[in-house]
Amino acid sequence: MSRRVRDRKRLEGYLPPEGVPISFSIASIGARFGAQVLDIALTYGFIILLVYAMVTTGALPIEAMFALIMLCVFLIRVPYYILAELVWNGRTVGKRIVGIRVINAEGRRLTPHQIVARNLMKEVELFTPVTMVFTVDAMSGLGVLLTLVWVLAVLIVPLANRRRQRLGDMVAGTIVVDNPRNVLLPDLALSLPAQGSVPHVFDFLPAHLDIYGRFELQTLEKVLRDPVRGEEPPDFGQISRTIIRKIGYADPVRPGQERAFLNAFYRAQREHLETLRLFGNRREDKFHSAPGS
């Protein structure tokens, strides 16, 4: 299993029978905490609604009501998580909202045994310590110390291992990953509008294109895409001036044509680097010609 870190994300790699390695990014602690909080809020909210509805309507005798509520309070603990993950293949309601899911750490089918095992441990990792924290006032010094050690031990485990597995995940052999979401953005080499008022011809010599590598090209691609809403549009003038200086581009680029220049440069640079790739020359970044690399 290959282990890589890209973009500060922790990746877990798998090799399917097709022989093309694929990877999932491990869900962040924040996302998992959020999903857990959502699940708790939803389940307990459901109980409160149920009690409220039964008290206001008075449809059931008091004993039946008590029995029903006791049953529900039991069900929203471990059984809820087991059922939800069984039905939705590793996603509780909270996980669905946050966009994470449980997968088998071996990359195969998530078995019911794993779901049961990882959620049974929730009792020891979550419910009991939380209950103890709430009753900490009534405890002796030893009790407080025990609670503290317990909570710390449970919290440290997912922080201390690379795949952010909690105890239940280790027992069950599962990991929690970001549910991959995919959007196919348009190909810049096809869709870029010519923004200069006059179609202008920019010619690049091979020397101009030998400066940058893959990383710079993909950074430029990011910049050229329509900015995410709320972000300031990048300063194309500044970027194009920097590029012109670095690659030693001699022809003049008139003000107002920076965007068109960048588009043309992106296209030419990509074509150049892709051609080099075909011949086995993979230029990862601008340091490709530095000695020793």
Partner 1 sequence: MTDAVAEQDKRRTGSSPDSPAAPAPQGELLRSARFRVEREGHWRRLDELVVRAEKAGPASLSYDETRELATTYRQAMNSLSVARDISLDRALLDYLETLCARAYLVVYAPQESIGGLTGRLLSIGIPQAVRRSALPLLIGFLAMVLGAVAGYVLFTGDPGWFYTFVPPDLADMRTPEASVDYLRSTIYGNDFDAAETLAAFSSYLFSHNTRIAILIFSLGIFLALPSFALTFYNGLVLGAFFGMFAVKGLGYDVFAWLSIHGVTELAAICIACAGGARLGLAVLLPGQRTRRDALREQAHDAVKLVILAALMLVAAAFIEGFLRQLVQDPKMRLAIGWGIGALWLAWLLLAGRSDEKQANEARGGSAP
Binding residues for partner 1 restricted to 86-125, rule: CB under 8 A: 86-87, 89, 103-104, 107-113, 116-117, 120-121, 123-124
Query: What SS3 class is residue 221?
Result: helix
Give the footprint of partner 1 on residues 255-274 (CB under 8 A): 263-265, 267-268, 270-274
- Distance between CA 41 and CA 80 in Å, rounded? 13
Cβ 52 to partner 1, closest distance in Å? 19
The partner residues of 174 in beta bridges, in order of sequence, read: 104
Residue 204 near partner 1 by CB under 8 A: yes
Beta pairing class for 100-104 and 174-178: antiparallel
Give the footprint of partner 1 on residues 18-47 (CB under 8 A): 18-20, 22-24
Q: Of these, 27, 176, 192, 239, which contacts partner 1 (CB under 8 A)?
A: 192
Residue 247 near partner 1 by CB under 8 A: no
Give the footprint of partner 1 on residues 56-75 (CB under 8 A): 61, 63-64, 66-67, 70-71, 73-74
CB-wise, 151 or 167, nearer to partner 1?
A: 167
Q: Which residues of 17-48 are buried (b: 16+ CB within 10 A; e: fewer)?
A: eeeeeebbbbbbeebbebbbebbbeebeeeee
CB-wise, 269 or 291, nearer to partner 1?
A: 269
CB-wise, 201 or 250, nearer to partner 1?
A: 201
Q: Which residues of 229-262 are buried (b: 16+ CB within 10 A; e: fewer)?
A: eeeeeeebeebbeebbeebebeeebeeebbbbbb
- Distance between CA 211 and CA 209 in Å, rounded? 6
H-helix or E-strand spanning residue 68: helix 62-75
Give the footprint of partner 1 on residues 145-184 (CB under 8 A): 167, 170-173, 179-184
Residue 277 near partner 1 by CB under 8 A: yes
Cβ 269 to partner 1, closest distance in Å? 9
Residue 223 near partner 1 by CB under 8 A: no
- Distance between CA 177 and CA 10 in Å, rounded? 10
CB-wise, 279 or 292, nearer to partner 1?
A: 279
Q: Which stretch binds partner 1 (CB under 8 A): 32-40, 135-143, 204-212, 229-237?
A: 204-212
CB contact at 8 A, 169 and 118:
yes
